[in-house]
Amino acid sequence: MITPGGTYADATFGGGGHSRRILEILGSGKLIAFDRDPDAVANSIEDERFTLVNADYRYIKNYLKLHEAIPCDGILADLGISSHQIDSAGRGFSTRFDGKIDMRMDVRTELSAIDVLNTYTEHELMDIFRRYGEIKNSHKLAAAIIRSRQDKQIRTTRELKEIAVTCTPRQMENKYLSQVFQAIRIEVNRELESLEIFLEKSLEVLKPGGRLVIISYHSLEDRLVKNFFRSGNLEGRTEQDFYGNIQSNIEAVSRKPIIPGEEEIESNPRARSAKLRIAEKKQP
């Protein structure tokens, strides 16, 4: 719920759809949006109530302080990659296109997917595929990449797919390729690290009664969000009082996440795996 005249943050601006909807009902309030992708600047909104910060949402506290937006009434984060990033062949995020395998959300950063594929050790590759892609035969895939790059560098999505297909379990090609690309993307962009920092900083800038709304798309993100909303810390470690009540300064609004219905999935297939969770900062 948006309170007219309130102060809000859209932590993942992207194409600006969420921000535009917030502004429709914000009244005289203030909205600060974040996106690390320089391409997102082209979607900026001409509105005196709106400010777009071209930076990683891990720095939310710094910039909200700069723009005098603390305390904040509510924060929204729609995790993952934007439709623009997925649909841009030259960015290397999608298995649908052949192009340079870059995968940087912020092209100003140094590490790209090309660097990961061609400089990481076999053990390092195996680790990211297992941790970030939850790939069971990560050792086989890592070994195949090492063998392939001995002949020439891996520089395109097609070349990576050709390697990955040799390791794909039967009848699981699409899922397997998605897991491979997801693992490399998370490593390149330090996505889980950014999410962890963002969660902690968001709690510091929200006012008591303020809400944190997060949409996640895979189990690694959702597990972090779920644990944080339940316990108020990244480890998911609950502390209880004498009566067994959980001691935390944040509380999930509902135990289960909100998931899209059939009609929404039909109109927006990318929402299929989305899980929306809402938490509220407790009153002192």
Structure tokens at 5: 């005249």
- Range list of H helices, 50-103: 60-66, 83-87
Express each pLDDT in 240-271 by its tens digit: 665 666 678 899 998 899 998 888 888 887 78
Contacts of 196 (CB under 8 A, 6+ apart): 224, 234
Report CA-CA distances (Å) from 10 to 69, 124, 197, 246. Answer: 12, 34, 16, 29
Rounded to 10 degrees, the C-alpha dihedral 90/91/95/96 comes to -40
Whole-model pTM: value is 0.91
Express each pLDDT in 60-114 by its tens digit: 999 999 999 999 999 999 998 877 787 777 788 888 888 899 999 999 999 999 9
d(CA 96, CA 185): 15
Range of lowest pLDDT (127-141, 163-177, 246-260): 246-260
d(CA 218, CA 134): 11
Domains, the chain, with CATH or none: 7-83+191-281 (3.40.50.150), 91-189 (1.10.150.170)
